[in-house]
Chain A
Amino acid sequence: MELAMTVGLAVFQIAIVMGVVLLSVAYMTYAERKVLSFMQDRLGPMEVGPYGLLQPIADGLKLFFKEDIIPSSANKLIFAIAPIICLVPALIGFAVMPYNETYAAFGGEAGVISDLNVGLLYILAFASVGTYGVILAGWSSNSKYAMLGGLRCGAQIISYELALGLSIVGVLLLSGSLSLREITMAQDGGFWHWNILLQPVAFVTYVISAVAETNRLPFDMPEAESELVAGFFTEYTGMRFAFFFLAEYANMILVCCLASVLFLGGYEAPMEFLNFIPGFIWLAIKTWALLFFFIWIRGTFPRVRFDQLMKFGWKVLIPITLANILFTALGVYIYNN
């Protein structure tokens, strides 16, 4: 009975979270095209539905009905599973994301699919597994552009993963826990308790590494279309191509969601009197604000060169994050005594 309840609760929450994530991915593509269009003084998608609102659905259907081409010289098995290796880690990272205050459902406590004691590391662990999908896709295609894209992507992801991993240590020093719910609750009681005020440097390095980690402009080396056609997924078509797209956007939402939890108080309201608005709406607002920022920098900055990107990661971000860790530790120690 106990087991049936746990499973029921889990499936219920997974359905909600996965539904919301996939819907957000769809409308993130729409929002991106619209925002970029407005920034460039255009209208963007307008044909499908009112204001083009049904565009993502049309795009999805189109990709679903497209032929699935597998290059003759590709390694067929790896080529076929690489998109799934990419997509699954991007989705299951949301398992530890606390999306609301605890509420009762199915005779248990809901609010997060599973509040692991090591939730933060769990996300990092699965983010690193996503790298395989990219490298293997590039390798298995047996195409020069795909190969170069996969390699660049591998090198870029691992370099910025390091900076990402080091920038969150400061937050851990403040909260003393790896559980995302505990990190959120430690920022309870108004926006002046949020970690961003104590860890502004970590926030900046986190956001920069997050942009690079998700291969977004201005750091979209792996798929720089003017140099590498489409990078590691040059050879992909139809649904498999769509999966890389889904994975990229899901990852983007994941890192923004994580940034909201770590630095912006997660589902906590910014002021006490705003508590009547449910937590998941606050989390959505914060996440979408960061996503808007992602689109904004895409619309603003030109692409950097690959050597600049790698140098910036290793020579600028890593020393800053290390210094931030030591200063934060010193500050915490002085504050406690």
Chain B
Amino acid sequence: MTTDFIPSNYLPVLIFFMIAAAFGFVTIIMGKLVRPQNPYREKALPYECGAPPISDARQPFPMRYYIIAMLFVLFDIEAVFMYPWAVVFNDIGIYGLVEMGLFILVLVVGYVYAWGKGALEWD
């Protein structure tokens, strides 16, 4: 059966994943046997230049990060559209050029809008 073909390519990847994860866990667990373990209150406090920490660290942060993440999602999807296009570009020729031109044009409209509205500013 041909359906066995591609998944078998992923078997080495799966093995690699397991070996890499095992490397991580085993190293940390093995270290437990030899490393000292002497926690006390002051040592376990979060670092704040020596002074006792004030208030919770998990405070709300500026909106910009959220906007950047949002724009990233959209641009990332656009980028994903470009990969199959680039791969088959030689077969589709001028059509491909024109339609990707249009696609990028629409994208640039949104990009210019974002720029104009100050979504890309950081000051």
Interface residues on A, range: 35 or more
Q: Which B residues are in CB contact (< 8 Å) with A73?
A: 45-46, 57
Whether B10 lies near A238 (C-beta < 8 A) is: no
Q: How distant is the Cα of A178 from the Cα of B85 in the complex, in angstroms?
A: 11
With A114-B11, A326-B101 already in contact, 16 other A-B pairs whose C-beta atoms are closer than 8 Å: A14-B19, A73-B46, A87-B20, A91-B20, A113-B13, A116-B9, A143-B53, A145-B47, A165-B79, A176-B87, A235-B46, A238-B31, A239-B27, A314-B71, A314-B120, A332-B89
Whether B25 lies near A84 (C-beta < 8 A) is: yes
Q: How distant is the Cα of A59 from the Cα of B65 in the complex, in angstroms?
A: 36
Chain B contact residue count (CB 8 A cutoff): 69
Q: Which B residues are in CB contact (< 8 Å) with A162?
A: 72, 75-76, 79
**Interface of B: prevailing SS:** helix
- Closest approach, in angstroms, between the C-beta of A101 and any C-beta of chain B? 18
Q: How distant is the Cα of A198 from the Cα of B96 in the complex, in angstroms?
A: 20
Q: State the 8 A-B residue pairs at the shortest beta-carbon distance, nearest first.
A: A307-B122, A143-B46, A10-B12, A172-B86, A84-B24, A72-B44, A114-B12, A91-B20
Whether A10 lies near B15 (C-beta < 8 A) is: yes
Closest B residue to A10 by CB, please name it. Answer: B12
Asked whether any CB of chain A lies closer than 8 Å to the CB of B6, the reply is yes
Q: Which A residues are in CB contact (< 8 Å) with B104?
A: 322, 325-326
Asked whether any CB of chain A lies closer than 8 Å to the CB of B116, the reply is no
Q: How distant is the Cα of A329 from the Cα of B44 in the complex, in angstroms?
A: 57
Asked whether any CB of chain A lies closer than 8 Å to the CB of B34, the reply is yes
Q: How distant is the Cα of A52 from the Cα of B36 in the complex, in angstroms?
A: 27
Whether A7 lies near B82 (C-beta < 8 A) is: no
